[in-house]
Amino acid sequence: MFDYCEKAIDILKSRRVDFGDIRIVEKKEQGLGVKNGRVAAADVSHSLGFGVRALVNGAWGFASSNELTPREVERVTGLAIEIAKASSLLKSKAVRLAPEPAYQDRWVSPFLIDPFQVSLQTKMDLLFAVDKILRKDKRIKSSIAYMDYDHVRKHLATTDGTRIEQVTLCTGGGCICNAVENGEIQERSFPAGNGRNMQQVGYEFIDALRMEERAEQVREEAIALLSAPQCPEGKMDLIIGGNQLALQIHESAGHASELDRVLGYEESFAGSSFLTTDKYKNGFRYGSPIVNLVADATLPGGLATCGYDDDGVRAQRWHIVKDGMLSGYMTNREFCGEIGLKRANGCNRADGHSSIPITRICNLSLMPGDWEYDDLIASTKNGIIMDNNKSWSIDQKRLNFQFGSEIGWLVKNGKITGMVKNPTYQGITPEFWNSCDAICNHKHWKLQGVVNCGKGQPGQTARMTHASSPARFKNVTVGVKAK
């Protein structure tokens, strides 16, 4: 593959571009699903292609192809250069890249069991077994169990001298069921909202989920929700964890800290951010002193974990929020200089060979605190526990939000007293994070994968992981009026 890379680099150098690179991406994917006792998906796909970036006179050009031949590499590289030249005629500001050393490396994500080597019969037998358990009650009208795998091999070469091969393997799975009675529908899923969780590991992740053991609980909770009382309205202490807290981190901290969004490059499509650069330079309290949000591209099992990003920047770990104070952003080589950074922190990624890399959320986690979960419950006088996201809404500045969860449990005088359905909560991002007064310890700290983060024009999909322990937020507005 590097022979094709060298051809592109030779052309880029001979045309005297400011900077150039080529990414060759080979991707293999498998998606399996069983729905209501029947095969719903048994898909295998394979793709191979390359993309070339050229920086000429301070402007980008990009072109790609799924035909990997010497002649096509030459054509596409030339096209990227011509696009960059045309773009330079309209640029308002010249692109300047932060320096990064040249690397020659090979990085492979670790795994124990290659899911592509596990027999299709073994996988489908498990999915059918889980689906059968979900459907043991006639009130379950829809059920699905599924698995997803992907294997990606990427070669990156730059005019700076970088030559990197990276291989990643990701595995995911889960199940969902919908209970229906008297015109009402309630959904319950495992291990996350919409059923899906994923990690950058092998088939051992499916084994660890123990879906057959959890399917009965999923079914029974969906049925119990049909007759559960509605979530109360008013101000209560809110305890959230797992999938719901992952989405809270993602929407109100992850997207808010993408520096290209902060600078207005996403504003016409997906909005900007309230975390403006003056807050970074002058000091801004994003959350209470116990809130530490850490971005980490080296997190074992993280979906955004890598050796290097698509700028060729080595993976790093840094604070977005430290002791409650805004401390950093998600940056690439193009924009990091806007806040005085001499080096990017490695957040430039594309979702395939045909997409140009853009700034994406890295693995971003709420670091654990000191609380035992039982003590957290025992110290809560009037609260509600929520988990597994069901709906989300957040404004263009990532400031005002409302989220809904699949299930809630009331806490009265230190005891869990019962289940409630359709729980929701709302808030304003810095007020919400400043209300955080307790975070459980490392024993409860778990990874939650986000598999469908959309951004960019044309749109791209990225994955990342948000790890957390259950956390408590004081005096939060919960519930909406039932009509």
Backbone angles phi, psi at 355, to 5 degrees: -115, 145
Q: Indicate the average pLDDT of the chain.
A: 96
Backbone angles phi, psi at 75, to 5 degrees: -65, -50
Backbone angles phi, psi at 458, to 5 degrees: -60, 155
Instruction: State the average pLDDT over residues 48-53.
Output: 98
Predicted local distance difference test score (pLDDT) of residue 483: 47
- Contacts of 119-124 with CB under 8 Å at 24 or more apart are 120/32, 120/42, 123/32, 123/147, 124/32, 124/34, 124/39, 124/42
- Residue 195: pLDDT band with limits 50, 70, 90: low
Q: Tens of pLDDT along 126-179?
A: 999 999 999 999 999 999 999 999 999 999 999 999 999 999 999 999 999 999
Q: How far is CA 172 from CA 169, 208, 213, 465, 469, in A?
A: 10, 11, 17, 12, 21
Tell me the three state secondary structure of residue 13.
Answer: helix
- pTM for this model (two decimals): 0.96
Q: Tens of pLDDT along 369-418?
A: 999 999 999 999 999 999 999 999 999 999 999 999 999 999 999 999 99
Q: Tens of pLDDT along 199-258?
A: 999 999 999 999 999 999 999 999 999 999 999 999 999 999 889 999 999 999 999 999
Query: Which domains, and CATH codes, for the chain?
Result: 2-227 (3.30.2290.10), 234-478 (no CATH)
Strands 184-190 and 140-158: unpaired
- CA 139 from centre of chain: 33
Tell me the three state secondary structure of residue 197.
Answer: strand
